[in-house]
Structure 1
Amino acid sequence: MEMERSASTERFQPLTSVGSGVGLEVTPDLYCYTVQIVNVVFYGLAGKGNDWVLIDAGMAKSASMIIEEAEKRFGKGNPPKAIILTHAHFDHIGALVDLLEVWDVPVYAHSLELPYITGQKNYPKPDTTVEGGMVAKMSFMFPNESIDIGNKAYPLPDDHTIPFMPDWKWIHTPGHSEGHISMFRNEDHAMIVGDAFVTVKQDELYKVFTQEMEINGPPRYFTPNWDTSERSVNILKALNPNIAITGHGVPAKGQWLSDNLEKLSAEFKSIAVPEYGKFVDDQLN
């Protein structure tokens, strides 16, 4: 089946950060790589021929960056065993079709997220009226259209295991999207949280560019349900993570993560929830 693209995979976004093109080994088997303003994660021990998994698929037109970095870490001609999606917003599936044309691998997502990668459903349009900085105002440029990868899309197992990632479990963390997931490993309390929370103020252009580190809720312009988003943050905080790789911003560890996630949970409404915006207004009505 020929895959169907959309603006989510075809429209280049003229946004970047000082971290773009930079990779960070967070643990021996977790490597965070920044593509413009969003992170993808390589799971697997570095070394030619080693098995590995890609988590999320970056921005449109970034496939060559991701493939090149993967080849540096795992060797040429060594595709991932699978691609796992935390969710399917444009900045997490932008390179997906291009990657699948090179790597013939399965893509796993929550069952509620599958309609957005099988051409059945579009996300709500971003909220340009939301309280926030310049990125929020620019969000009219961000596509909300689904793509269709056909029979390459698979639901994550109901038992919360993650294919090709032993010792990891997926956790349903909706709010930013209805099928959003985070990932947790009990051994070292490592988390991959997508956009359930982030470590940069994602609506402010200067902070996005500089990657100034601060705890925040999910990106305001694309979060339709703040009540469930708050519950998701509380679920993640209760797991006492020691490492968190977020979809935006630099990875967080140790005491900084513990203190700031506690603060976000306790003060979610004042830190994360905008004072106004169409999604906020919809929930109040």
Structure 2
Amino acid sequence: MDMNMRQSEDNKFIPMTSVSSGMIKQVCPDVYYYTNQIVNFALVGTADHWVLVDAGMPKSSQEIMDVAKGVFGTLARPAAIVLTHGHFDHVGGLVGLLEAWRVPVYAHPLEFPFLTGQQAYPEPDTTVEGGLNAKISSYFPHEPIDISQARLLPLPADGTVPAMPGWHWVFTPGHSPGHVSLFREADRVLISGDAVITVKQDSLYKVLVQKEEVQGPPRYLTTDWNAAYESVKKLHALQPQIIVPGHGQVMHGAALEEGLHQLVTNFATIAVPEYGRFVKGKD
């Protein structure tokens, strides 16, 4: 491994899965997503020019490269990697990918401390209201990775996304300080990261069977619920027709519209836990 880059000090394989693990789905002609155990990463573009959005679970770099080859051919290499945020399940294969591909990585500057070895995320909240995933979340990595010697670059202030023409990034903090989502106005496709997901992520059973329901961000890693609510309202206002979430399955049309409406209207009861380390109290 390149000594100038490293995964987190607590990096380890997480023995979790879902019925969708190992499946790749084509959302539209140039957008695919793949479920790596319990998390999704997206591939946007064509064989001539494509971008990877997020980098999967720990120990997943070879799997991600194999998926890319299956979609775009044996010489598949992205123009860039764009990160919605730096939690362990979105950067788990990043160092291995960068060693193989040597491409730029774009993220919001507020995520840089967690990507350059400077600062750890808060430990997952095992006290939060929720299912078994929440209770075992202390096992999940939270220490920072270090790709400071890679081409780590800030997303442009004008909202454009490098190497992704027609897309713009939306600042959606709450789940993490510099979380972003990606939106394409032309066909109203939203890659939401963990700002909005389509499975109740704290429930081990619902993750396993991938029960479809529009939800707020995973409870055990969300530290600012007020910001998370503002982010959900911002994404609802975009009126997306298709959502590719960080967790759960793609949703579109009326089901998505109604689910987002209910989430915005009833955020305090649907998303915000009754108790937990980062819950300030509910109205």
TM-score w.r.t. the length of structure 1 is 0.96
Q: Which residue of 2 aligns with 1:109?
A: 107
1:39 aligns with 2:37: no
The total of aligned residue pairs comes to 279
Alpha-carbon shift at residue 242 of structure 1 (Å): 0.3
Using the alignment, how far apart are the partners of 1:155 and 1:214 within structure 2? 32
Secondary structure, aligned partner of 1:70 = helix
1:223 aligns with 2:225: no
- Look up the equivalent residue of 1:131 and give its one-letter code: E
Using the alignment, how far apart are the partners of 2:164 and 2:251 within structure 1? 21
Alpha-carbon shift at residue 117 of structure 1 (Å): 0.6
Alpha-carbon shift at residue 215 of structure 1 (Å): 1.0
Using the alignment, how far apart are the partners of 1:15 and 1:153 within structure 2? 29
Unaligned runs of 5+ residues in structure 2 are: none
Q: 2:84·2:179 contact (CA, 8 Å) conserved in 1?
A: yes
Alpha-carbon shift at residue 75 of structure 1 (Å): 1.1
Using the alignment, how far apart are the partners of 1:212 and 1:78 within structure 2? 33
Q: Following superposition, which runs of at least 4 residues in structure 1 exceed 3 angstroms of deviation?
A: none
Report Cα offsets for 1:187-242 as digits up to 9, x if no partner: 01110000001100100111100001011110000000000100000000011000
Q: Which residue of 1 aligns with 2:19?
A: 18
Q: Which residue of 2 aligns with 1:153?
A: 152
Q: Pick from 136, 139, 144: which aligns with 1:138? A: 136
Unaligned runs of 5+ residues in structure 1 are: none
Identity of aligned residues (%): 53
More helix by share: 1
Using the alignment, how far apart are the partners of 1:149 and 1:59 within structure 2? 16
Residues 43-54 of structure 1 aligned to structure 2 (within 5 Å): 43-45=44-46, 49-54=47-52
Q: 1:21·1:65 contact (CA, 8 Å) conserved in 2?
A: no
Report Cα offsets for 1:249-281 as digits up to 9, x if no partner: 001101110011000000000000000000004
Q: 2:160·2:169 contact (CA, 8 Å) conserved in 1?
A: yes
Q: Pick from 5, 8, 12: which aligns with 1:6? A: 8
Alpha-carbon shift at residue 152 of structure 1 (Å): 2.0
TM-score w.r.t. the length of structure 2 is 0.96
Using the alignment, how far apart are the partners of 2:37 and 2:120 within structure 1? 24
- Look up the equivalent residue of 2:8 and give its one-letter code: S
